[in-house]
Amino acid sequence: EVQLVESGGGLVKPGRSLRLSCTGSGFIFGDYAMSWSRQAPGKGLEWVGLIRSTTYYGGTREYAASVKGRFTISRDDSKSIAYLQMNSLKTEDTAVYYCSTSMVTTHYFDYWAQGTLVTVSS
């Protein structure tokens, strides 16, 4: 059974850093892209970024303009974990963060983790 489990959310002060983890199981982790999206309170979904498959695309990364230069996505395929390193956090980064992968449909987000809340507040 394919599963994605997130961890690492919490309360953090503006300007500080936080790292989220997304652990996969039930599939060959290195073969699939991992994406991060978020939903701020009362708002819609926003794509944050992705890291492509190590096996097929060398683990290249893309980011939304709103987080580029502050957020970094990485992966450790030996542990089946994807990371979202968030630096210089702003209050507007407060959101539920979701990781997801594209297994069946290749490019769309067909498996999602449960989400983890990040609150940026002084």
Partner 1 sequence: EIVLTQSPATLSLSPGERATLSCRASQSVSSSLAWYQHKPGQVPRLLIYDASNRATGIPARFSGSGSGTDFTLTISSLEPEDFAVYYCQQRSFLYTFGPGTKVDIK
Binding site for partner 1 (CB under 8 A): 35, 37, 44-47, 50, 62, 64-65, 98, 104-105, 107-110, 112-115
Side-chain-facing half-sphere of 89: CA atoms under 13 Å: 22
Distance CA 51, CA 24 (A): 14
Least distance (Å) between residue 112 CB and partner 1 = 4
Distance (Å, whole) CA 102 – CA 47: 14
Smallest gap from residue 101 Cβ to partner 1 (A): 11
Closest approach of partner 1 to the CB of residue 51, in Å: 13
Nearer to partner 1, 70 or 76 (CB): 70
- Whichever of 44 and 122 has its CB closer to partner 1, that residue is 44
Of 22, 5, 15, 34, the residue nearest 93 (C-alpha): 15
Tell me the helices (H) and strands (E) count for the chain, helix number first.
1, 11
Q: Tokens 């990040």 belong to which residue?
A: 118
- Closer by beta carbon to partner 1, 33 or else 86: 33
Min CB(105)–partner 1 separation in Å: 5
